[in-house]
Amino acid sequence: MTWSDRQRAMLAEMGIRVWAAPAAEPAEPAVAGPITPASTQAAAVAARPSRGAFGEAVAAPPLSRATSPASLVEFVPASADIATLDWPALREAVASCTACALCESRTQTVFGVGHPQAHWMIVGEAPGEEEDRRGEPFVGRSGQLLDNMLRAIGLSRQPGETPDPAKQVFIANTLKCRPPGNRNPLPDELARCEGFLIRQIELVQPKIILAMGRFAVQSLLRSNSPIGQLRGRVHRYQGVPLVVTYHPAYLLRNLPEKARAWDDLCLALDTVEAAAGAHPHDRAGD
């Protein structure tokens, strides 16, 4: 993999350094201090599955109303109806939803943003204060970090920037309303809301899903394993490749983990390119 000067500059601004010629591969990326060549590019290569390993991806239990845990099924509201909604109807259903108590404290629902047929789908956790105020997921400092990382590999959440859905992302949260005080989402809140995310994924039909943060991972993979154990390989959600990574808000509090998040993004990019039959060097900016 090679990187243009512009991409390196953008990554450097994020505290991520990449080198064209990596040094010897270490067993683990650096966990503290400056990021070294050996802890970024080489670690990314070491962590990435081969093209052939794509077929060995870890299959996730499908997230559907029929297979949701019995303890959650009872909380899913009008799921059969949600499964038939188009984009405008789904957006309206979210905006008027009162299925859980979060409707009482929200400023507005946070539906999602991006190209409706984007090849990339990013699933976060729940709206924070700024998202609740603006009605858009991943805004503020964590949103800027996410946008910078996406831009470094030629992706955008703004449909107007390019008409090519392969360069576009659709971003949605697992929960559409802000939990008061940014507390963790409750299991019944996640269960009541998950039908909306399921339908969004069905409508977007992404080529790759990036699950960011613990609650996104729990919802999509039905796993309570730590992110550190789930990242670094390709999972599957309803047949769609899914890569687990850290939430940008976590990265802002744990700067050394940016290198691992960058590795995850590269894994997702390699996965998409492998599925499309593209050569790994045929990427934007190279």
- CA dist., res. 121 & res. 169, Å (int): 5
Nearest-angstrom CA–CA distance, 212 and 215: 8
Closer residue to ligand SF4, CB minimum distance, 99 or 153: 99
E strand spans, the chain: 58-59, 113-114, 120-124, 169-173, 208-212, 234-237, 240-245
Number of Cβ atoms within 10 Å of the Cβ of 211:
30
Instruction: Tell me: does residue 99 bind ligand SF4 (CB under 6 A).
Output: yes
Q: Does 102 bind ligand SF4 (CB under 6 A)?
A: yes
Binding to ligand SF4 in span 193-212, by CB under 6 A: 193
Q: Candidates 78-86, 170-178, 198-206, 259-267: pick the segment binding ligand SF4 (CB under 6 A).
A: 170-178
Q: Does 68 bind ligand SF4 (CB under 6 A)?
A: no
Q: Is 76 in the site for ligand SF4 (CB under 6 A)?
A: no
What's the closest the beta carbon of residue 3 comes to ligand SF4, in angstroms? 39
Closer residue to ligand SF4 in complex, CB, 180/228: 180
Per CB under 6 A, contacts with ligand SF4 among 215-254 are none
Residue with tokens 């339908």: 199
> Residues 16 to 35: which contact ligand SF4 by CB under 6 A?
none
Which of the ranges 93-101, 217-225, 244-252, 273-281 carries the binding residues for ligand SF4, by CB under 6 A? 93-101
Which member of 11, 60, 76, 94 binds ligand SF4 (CB under 6 A)?
Answer: 94
For the stretch 200-203, contacts whose Cβ atoms lie closer than 8 Å and that sit 24 or more positions apart, written own/partner, are 200/90, 200/112, 200/121, 200/170, 200/172, 201/121, 201/237, 201/238, 201/240, 202/83, 203/86, 203/87, 203/90, 203/116
Does residue 109 belong to the site contacting ligand SF4 (CB under 6 A)?
A: yes
What is the CB neighbour count within 10 angstroms for residue 63?
17
Judged by CB under 6 A, does residue 97 bind ligand SF4? Answer: yes
Say whether residue 146 binds ligand SF4 (CB under 6 A): no
Give the Å distances, CA to CA, from 205 to 82, 153, 199, 277: 16, 21, 10, 19
Query: Which residue ranges make up the site for ligand SF4 (CB under 6 A)?
Result: 94, 97-100, 102-103, 109, 175-177, 189, 192-193
